[in-house]
Amino acid sequence: MKHTIKLNEKTTFNEAIGELDKAGVGFLACVNSDNVLIGILTDGDVRRAILNGESDLKNIINSNPFTMSSQANKQEIIAKLIKLHRRHMPLINTAGELDSVFYLDSVEFENKKNSVVIMAGGLGSRLGKLTEHTPKPMLTVGGKPILKHILEQFREQGFRNFIFCVNYKKEVIKDYFGDGSKLGVDISYVEEKKRLGTAGALSLIEHKLEHPFFIINGDVMTNLDFSSFLESHVSSKSFATMAVREFEHQIAYGVVETDDHSNIVGLTEKPTVKYNINSGVYILSPDTLDFVPQDVFYDMPSLFEDLISLDYNTKAYLIDDYWIDIGIEEQLNKANKDFSVNGESK
């Protein structure tokens, strides 16, 4: 079977690296003599092993990888891979044996016409020296810029048309991504001469957008199923849709409820309050651009507030997928930790 190695007690790290190199896809399924999957090995596993001075294969391979049944259909597998932000899925038969490996890279996705606008012009001042020479969207998670993670997540779901709104250290972003051709996408740039907020830069888009389009902040990492988000926007006939997440906050004190006459009517000890918070991911219909003022600071919450006041149909789309807003160094460190545990290699 392609991209598979049979491990035994004599298999060395160097032999495994050689087979990984032959496979050419950055992935090996590791099986025993009975073809039972015992783990996977990826380029990322090898890099970490070398950095840590580790050469014992049993300590290097991921012995608890995600798997699916070989009876799963193609769409189920693709949906799972997208949700997990992975490129490969071992498929196991009813006897526990490795039947095959499904590769997302081999799937021909329909190129969707919807554009993706990424707000990548922020200063990242809360990250201090980390953004002194590097724009925030170019800080790395798992050895890859945040902006590239965002682009690849959309690309894997068939979205190919990107608009980067840039300002601070824009040349770093433009030099890295160019026109997007090396990544199999098309990238155009909107250059802010001054900071225009998370919606103001939309006024600088010169060509007419004919389909609902995404907006995502350049410091957000998520494994959201963007296609399902788009389907919800279209089916609900929404003018503007905001992806929201449930946020829980526990009040540290007992809460006392009173009526208008100061009578105590209830006591709740340290209650948990739930809110829906803005995730920084949106879908807008093209006509919303008519409401964005020209060349002034204007953010997405203001746009939604204006549309709501005018009785336009605005929707919230609740997500429970992985999501993190990398605004401070602590969150950047958490994202790197999350990636090392739950990313493509683990």
Per-residue model confidence as pLDDT tens digits over 194-230: 889 889 999 999 888 999 999 999 999 998 999 999 9
Q: Please give the average per-residue pLDDT across 249-253, as a whole number.
A: 91
Percent of the chain with pLDDT over 70: 96
102 and 137 fall within a common domain: no
220-222 and 323-325 as β-strands: parallel, antiparallel, unpaired? antiparallel
- Minimum mean pLDDT range among 57-61, 149-153, 232-236: 57-61
Bridge partner residues of 92 (DSSP): 69, 98
- Cα–Cα distance measured from residue 161 to residue 207, given in angstroms and rounded to the nearest whole number: 13
Of 86, 106, 126, the residue that ends a domain is 106
- Cα–Cα distance measured from residue 172 to residue 182, given in angstroms and rounded to the nearest whole number: 16
Kindly report the CATH number assigned to the domain that includes residue 321: 3.90.550.10
Higher pLDDT pick, 8 / 253: 253
Residue owning tokens 């032959």: 22
88 and 119 fall within a common domain: no
127 and 64 fall within a common domain: no
pLDDT tens, residue by residue, 62-73: 988 999 999 888
32 and 137 fall within a common domain: no
189 and 93 fall within a common domain: no
Higher pLDDT pick, 119 / 329: 119
235 and 150 fall within a common domain: yes
Q: Please give the average per-residue pLDDT across 126-154, as a whole number.
A: 90
90 and 237 fall within a common domain: no
269 pLDDT more than 90: yes
Q: How confident is the model at residue 344 (pLDDT cuts 50, 70, 90)?
A: very low
pLDDT at 328: 87
pLDDT at 265: 93
pLDDT at 106: 67
Q: Is 291 left (phi over 0), alpha (psi -120 to 50) or beta?
A: alpha
Residues 256/209, Cβ–Cβ less than 8 Å: no
- Cα–Cα distance measured from residue 95 to residue 259, given in angstroms and rounded to the nearest whole number: 65
- Cα–Cα distance measured from residue 215 to residue 116, given in angstroms and rounded to the nearest whole number: 6
203 and 328 fall within a common domain: yes
Q: Please give the average per-residue pLDDT across 295-304, as a whole number.
A: 94
194 and 79 fall within a common domain: no
Q: For the chain, what is the domain count?
A: 2
156 and 41 fall within a common domain: no
Crossing angle for the helix pair 170-177 and 146-155, nearest 10 degrees?
40
pLDDT at 16: 86
239 and 277 fall within a common domain: yes
What's the domain range around 202? 112-342
Of 66, 84, 106, the residue that ends a domain is 106
128 and 219 fall within a common domain: yes
Kindly report the CATH number assigned to the domain that includes residue 97: 3.10.580.10
Of 64, 86, 106, the residue that ends a domain is 106
- Cα–Cα distance measured from residue 311 to residue 84, given in angstroms and rounded to the nearest whole number: 37
